[in-house]
Amino acid sequence: MLSGLENKWVLITGASSGFGAAAARAFGEAGCRLLLGARRLDRLEDVAAEARQAGSPEVGVQVLDVSNTPSVEAFTAWVRGRTDRVDVLVNNAGGAQGLNSVAEGVDADWETMLQTNVLGVLRMTRAVLPLLPRDAGATILNIGSIAGHVAYEGGAAYCAAKAGELQITRALRLELNGTGIRVSTVDPGLAETEFSLVRFKGDAARAKKVYEGMQALTARDVAEILVWVAGRPAHVNIDELLVKPVDQAAIHKVHRRPV
Ligand SMILES: NC(=O)c1ccc[n+]([C@@H]2O[C@H](COP(=O)([O-])OP(=O)(O)OC[C@H]3O[C@@H](n4cnc5c(N)ncnc54)[C@H](OP(=O)(O)O)[C@@H]3O)[C@@H](O)[C@H]2O)c1
């Protein structure tokens, strides 16, 4: 999958699983150099091996917790030790915790969702911005969600977090106007990754039910879109891309076949 991205430096947060891991493989196929962060280093090392196999000329992995400013700073110092430029920043780390109503809300869940999906994007972007080259097609690629556009019961904090991510993306595009740095958000609907397993705290049966009888997006589907967005000519900015499985016509309308 060649896209003019050969040898570009791509930094992906949350690269140990799901979209982030698939993005590492897909940007690897495009010949990119990769800087991968997440909290689980063993998983990152497996992803790095796959990305090298896919064609990446250089892959580095490092522990990163986007909910913690010192961790983001240590990660960025590690990045600076390997390169003086980052061409593509993929702010992917995040997810949901629980599906409780506001009345039944759990502080720790709310805090995790806002720390990772909102403050994590702000922290990472602030830290990496000085490394993004001007007028060279550099891209900040944030992963939003359909949940940032439409609310659902039990999703108040997650929907708020992803709506926050969308507004961060929009504000950044205004702030960076004139620098040539592109800012995009890719907002998926139902996609089968470890997202629901994490949301339901390891309850695999409950997680599986989310995708039962329907064809969800795969992590690969989303990763291919990320490579496409980053690979557009330098003067083209894909502002906001909402992608859903055909079976999901709207957040509450999912076609399910009998199982
Ligand atoms: N799957 C969906 O249906 C869907 C739809 C729309 C949007 N999204 C969004 O897509 C993004 C990726 O999710 P996914 O579906 O690929 O889920 P996933 O398979 O659970 O992957 C989430 C990734 O985020 C990382 N992560 C979580 N908290 C982190 C932290 N504090 N610091 C660093 N890394 C952290 C995880 O790594 P570690 O645990 O190793 O740190 C993991 O690599 C998330 O922002 C999610 O909200 C998902």
Catalytic annotation on 158? yes
Q: What is the DSSP letter of 88?
A: E
- Indicate yes or no: pTM above 0.85: yes
Given a cut of 60, is residue 205 above it in pLDDT? yes
Chain centroid to CA 207: how far?
20
Instruction: Report the separation in Å between the CA atom of 102 and the middle of ligand 1, taken as the mean of its atom positions.
Output: 22
- The torsion angles phi and psi of 27, rounded to 5 degrees, stand at -70, -30
Given a cut of 50, is residue 164 above it in pLDDT? yes
9-254: CATH topology:
Rossmann fold (3.40.50)
In contact, 121 and 90? CB cutoff 8 Å: no
Given a cut of 80, is residue 1 above it in pLDDT? no
Burial 168-193 (b: 16+ CB within 10 A, else e): bbeebbeebeeebbbbbbbbbbbbbb
- Of 12, 16, 187, the residue with max ligand 1 atoms within 8 A of its CB, to mutate for a pocket test, comes to 16
Given a cut of 80, is residue 2 above it in pLDDT? no
Residue ranges around ligand 1 (CB below 6 Å): 13-14, 16-20, 38-40, 43, 64-67, 92-95, 116-117, 143, 145, 188, 190-191, 193-195, 198, 219
Given a cut of 90, is residue 187 above it in pLDDT? yes
What integer is the mean pLDDT of 171-191? 98
Q: Where are the domains of the chain?
A: 9-254
124 burial via Cβ count (<10 Å: 0-12, 13-18, 19+): buried
CA 129, 133, 135, 137 torsion-angle sign: negative
